[in-house]
Structure 1
Amino acid sequence: MVSDSPSNYQRIVAEKAHAFNNDTGKEYFTELYETEKTLEERWIGEVGDVAWVHAFAPKSHNDFIAFFSKAYSIDDVKEQNWIDFSTGLRALFATLSEQGFASFNLMLHISPDPESKQPIHVRLIPRLTLGLLNTSDINFFQALHQEPLSFKLPEEIAAIARKHFEKIK
């Protein structure tokens, strides 16, 4: 998904990363990467210039974050970065499989502000299968971008519902 306007997640990340930079003089994701690597509590590993951690406040049962530590725009991502990223993904797919998860949601975030020097990051969470429905719980747009989904305008649905309320008068 690509859009002219940011999703809720993208907007919040941009606002909070900017505020963090103003308060500390440091770039948020770089600082998070360095802190997690030092503490080793949620640090997973690093392949080339792509590092993986588990989120402190997960959006699902697992919530993996990858940092492309030297890539700030899509033009900065080299073929080797994609190879390194895919190597990390294979390890995480094994992690998900070991826990019985068969599918996932993934989001690649590239800051729209080239001046922010915010490294590209990825979030990956499992999709949960709902019992006998044999369907996934939530899609990436809801889970990772914090965007509710509706295929119809609220006003259209209200007009349809009003017709049925008129029948019960």
Structure 2
Amino acid sequence: MSIQRLPAWRNVEDAILSGTYTYGDLIPYGELFAMLGMPKPELSDRADAMESWRLSVLQERASLVEHMLKQHAMMLETENGVGIRILLPSEQTGAAERTLRKELTRSLRAHRDRISNVAYDRLTPAQQKENTDAQVRIAQRVDALRAIEHSRLIAKPK
């Protein structure tokens, strides 16, 4: 049995750096949980125990992902229901771009909702103008993002 390091994600880092896993490999969840020293609770366990375990795993995973990217230039990506994969260097740029698009879209949508769902009749005329101007600015940002995506799709080699 190997010695468990703390924080637990260091055990996964050790496995990657020792060559147990490398670029392109998938680390199945079962192996990941074992390296973290966090076996998955049984279905019969209490809901709060399952939630506590889930949050602990997410925290360890987030720390591992950030550390591996910043310290070792290795990007890890979750494959839902399967595990985490160490992306090939040639895949990192595309994965980062996809993540950026998702995050920008989500953020712009949330911002638009906060600006457009205002009790408009309770605003002064100056506040109404400020709100309308903000709605126009967010719409312009959304349109600019769409134009960038559209030009990117058109310019993409076949």
TM over 0.5: no
Higher strand share: 1
